[in-house]
């Protein structure tokens, strides 16, 4: 029996050059949501932030680069890694939240779409290569992979380029403590149809969406600084509610994906989870491991990059995956036939997970 599999044949990531350490926020004036000033010393705010999130530094794009530029650079690396002709790509799927945001404009730009811009930057001439964006919050790249898998399994596509790219540094409120979480970056994968005698690649998926009281846990709002223009809006979030929502729902979604795959829980080698917050990711994993009765050290199964790269939204999962494959994450490797999981949660609120056989 032959199986039609959706297999990752190439990966690439682009980590921006500008390194911003926590110390560089020491000159910021931080305010609460009610515009009252935060009286705690900024050094104490930064120290507490590091303890909670694990973030020590993050990367920002240079002034001359937009999210589509980062995406194209990651895509070039993925295409080269796969060793394919770019004209053979059937779909370009770009996950993002804000499109291109030019430096100092705070204006999101989706005209044309990010995917169309990437196709242009890659110089692809094939009119049958269809570019489109996915706006799905931080789980966007995972959702793009799920969508590409559906097209491949249905026979409507053979080769897809799936990218997550974001320049969150362009939409942060520098007077909001949460601005220290966000970062820029891009990760890309080539997913293609491969026939074989065994199942491999994407084995199973799960998805969730909660849009009642959860819808606006992440949103755009005015700066917390007094006397700022209320018409200019920045990324905002209710961190406590996001934490509680994620801890309640993400482990369940992950277990559903694992159960659907039929793979015994003890065979799961790595969980590549969205790098949102170190403490939150650890809490999610602890609960998931309890649900599935996995007896492994957490440090063995969950690689992390948030300490150095921050939270680049849709880019965190593909970037971390690419880094592991290229031996850039100390203590973590992925080998042929390893069972891994991709998982994410974010704005919407949306959750998804993929079980993947390398």
CA distance 232 to 223: 8
CA dist 216 → 143, 221, 236 (Å) = 20, 11, 9
Catalytic-labelled residue, pool 66, 311, 350, 352:
311
Sign of CA dihedral 99, 104, 105, 107: positive
Contact 280, 246 (CB under 8 A): yes
Residues contacting 204, CB < 8 A, separation 6+: 257, 258, 260, 261, 262, 354, 355
For this structure, is 311 an active site residue? yes
Please report which helix (H) or strand (E) contains residue 179, including its range: none
Q: Which residue has the tokens 């994410």?
A: 344
Task: Spell out a b/e string for 149-184, using b for 16 or more CB atoms within 10 Å of the CB, else e.
Answer: bebbeeeebebbbbbbbbbbbbbbbbbbbbbbbbbb
Catalytic-labelled residue, pool 274, 277, 332, 352:
274
CA distance 158 to 168: 32
Sign of CA dihedral 81, 87, 88, 92: positive
Catalytic-labelled residue, pool 138, 175, 179, 352:
138
Contact 134, 114 (CB under 8 A): no
Residue 130's SS3 state is: strand
**CA geometry: angle 228, 229, 232, nearest 5 deg:** 120
For this structure, is 274 an active site residue? yes
CA distance 97 to 102: 14
Contact 91, 152 (CB under 8 A): no
- Hey, which residues are catalytic here? 138, 274, 311
């Amino acid at each position: 029996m032959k199986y039609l599999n959706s297999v990752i044949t190439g990966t690439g990531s682009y980590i921006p050059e500008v390194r911003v350490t926590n110390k560089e926020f020491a000159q910021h004036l931080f305010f609460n949501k009610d515009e009252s000033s935060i009286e705690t010393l900024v050094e104490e705010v930064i120290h507490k932030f590091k303890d909670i999130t694990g973030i020590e530094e993050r990367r920002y794009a240079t002034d001359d680069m937009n999210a589509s530029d980062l995406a194209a650079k990651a895509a070039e690396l993925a295409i080269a890694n796969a060793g394919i002709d770019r004209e053979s790509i059937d779909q370009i799927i770009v996950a993002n939240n804000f499109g291109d945001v030019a430096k100092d404009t705070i204006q999101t730009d989706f005209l044309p779409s990010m995917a169309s811009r990437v196709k242009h930057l890659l110089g692809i001439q094939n009119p049958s290569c269809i570019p489109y964006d996915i706006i799905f919050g931080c789980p966007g790249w995972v959702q793009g992979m799920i969508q590409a898998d559906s097209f491949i399994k249905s026979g409507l596509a053979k080769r897809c380029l799936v990218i997550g790219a974001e320049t969150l540094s362009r939409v942060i409120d520098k007077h909001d403590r949460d601005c220290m979480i966000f970062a820029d970056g891009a990760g890309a994968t080539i997913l293609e149809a491969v026939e074989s005698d065994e199942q491999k690649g994407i084995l199973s998926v799960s998805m969730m969406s909660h849009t009642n009281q959860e819808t606006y846990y992440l949103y755009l709002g005015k700066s917390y600084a007094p006397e700022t223009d209320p018409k200019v809006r920045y990324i905002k979030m209710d961190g406590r509610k996001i934490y509680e929502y994620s801890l309640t729902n993400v482990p369940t979604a992950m277990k559903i994906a694992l159960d659907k795959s039929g793979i015994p829980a003890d065979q799961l080698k790595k969980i590549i989870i969205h790098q949102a917050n170190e403490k939150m990711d650890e809490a999610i994993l602890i609960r998931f491991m309890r649900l599935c009765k996995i007896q492994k050290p957490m440090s063995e199964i969950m690689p992390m990059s948030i300490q150095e790269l921050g939270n680049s939204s849709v880019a965190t999962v593909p970037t971390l995956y690419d880094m592991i494959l290229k031996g850039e994450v100390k203590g973590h490797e992925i080998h042929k036939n390893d069972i891994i999981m991709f998982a994410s949660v974010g704005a919407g609120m949306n959750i998804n997970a993929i079980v993947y056989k390398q």
